[in-house]
Amino acid sequence: MMSVQQAQPGQPSVQVQPMVQARNVRKTFGQNEVLKGINLEVKKGEVMTLLGPSGSGKTTFLRLINHLETMTAGRLYVDGELVGYREKHGRLHELHPLSIAKMRSEIGMVFQSFNLFPHMTALQNIMESPVGVKRENKAVVKDRALALLDRVGLADKSNSYPGALSGGQQQRVAIARALAMEPKLMLFDEPTSALDPELVGEVLDVMRGLAASGMTMVVVTHEVGFAREVADSVVFMDDGVVVESGSPQEVLVNPQHARTKNFLGKVL
């Protein structure tokens, strides 16, 4: 369902298309049902954090959003378009790989591991996809990449190779690389879990800045403090279902379900 924005007297109501909409999304690996009917919406400009124990299905759901995994059942939309499929007579047909790649180019994803090309400098890593995939002008992309390096606090590291950067610096380059494609949605899968504790803050600072700029973000994280401070909505998942969702105040401060309370009691 699309949310309806309250109209002024005398004006028609305006339907607002969610950025992400999941309808009864299911995913099975062999005999293991990892997602058991996920229903949720992410509004444009919203920051949603997904919390839950390992194995609860958070990362699988995130990977479905940009079709790195295929659904077993349900419907998943990004900006009103069915992700990875076209629907005909009630049946889903997977899109051609080129169409999937185009869709994926509009969704930035940052992984636990930084996945930078070790033989390329920070600047080259950031420029690679806009030039190689979108065929953008190299000079224009270089200017954008340098601006992004400055945005993530690494203006002086443009010619550094990943091996010469700390984990936090590499992850900030990975964020800049995703932003270089000018995505309408950013997905983060435990972006600080591979970092030493003293490096976590510098990555979260970049993500705070992104949130403040109005970027739509879905973040899988164990950083409850970040969720409390930055998220517009928090979803707690366990055993493949959404147990509880709402504002940070509702879910983190005043949880209603025993499973949520038990999880928060362990991580806080």
User: With the C-alpha atoms ordered 115, 217, 264, 64, is the resulting torsion angle positive or negative?
Assistant: negative
Residues pairing with 38 in the sheet? 25
Gap between the Cα atoms of 87 and 71, Å rounded: 13
pLDDT above 60 for 118: yes
- What Å distances lie between residue 221 and 30, 193, 231, 239, CA to CA? 26, 8, 11, 16
Query: Can you give the pLDDT at residue 268?
Result: 77
Residue 238 CB-density burial (10 A; 0-12 exposed, 13-18 middle, 19+ buried):
buried
110 near 124, Cβ under 8 Å?
no
The three-point CA angle 137-144-166 to 5° equals 125
Least Cα distance to 64 among 52, 73, 54 occurs for 73
Main-chain phi, psi angles of 206, to 5 degrees: -65, -40
Three-state DSSP class for residue 21: strand
The 10s digit of each residue's pLDDT in 176-218 is 999 999 999 999 999 999 899 899 999 999 999 999 999 999 9
3 near 16, Cβ under 8 Å?
yes
The 10s digit of each residue's pLDDT in 131-169 is 998 999 999 999 999 999 999 999 999 999 999 999 999
The 10s digit of each residue's pLDDT in 59-115 is 999 999 999 999 999 999 999 999 999 999 989 999 999 999 999 999 999 999 988
Query: Can you give the pLDDT at residue 14?
Result: 53
pLDDT above 70 for 6: no
pLDDT above 50 for 1: no
Least Cα distance to 114 among 167, 176, 61 occurs for 167
Question: What confidence tier does 15 reach under pLDDT thresholds 50, 70, 90?
Answer: low
Gap between the Cα atoms of 209 and 140, Å rounded: 23
Query: Can you give the pLDDT at residue 267?
Result: 85
Question: What confidence tier does 8 reach under pLDDT thresholds 50, 70, 90?
Answer: low
24 near 38, Cβ under 8 Å?
yes
Residues pairing with 22 in the sheet? 40, 76
- Residue 100's contacts (CB-CB under 8 Å, 6 or more residues apart) are 67, 84, 94
Query: Can you give the pLDDT at residue 140?
Result: 97
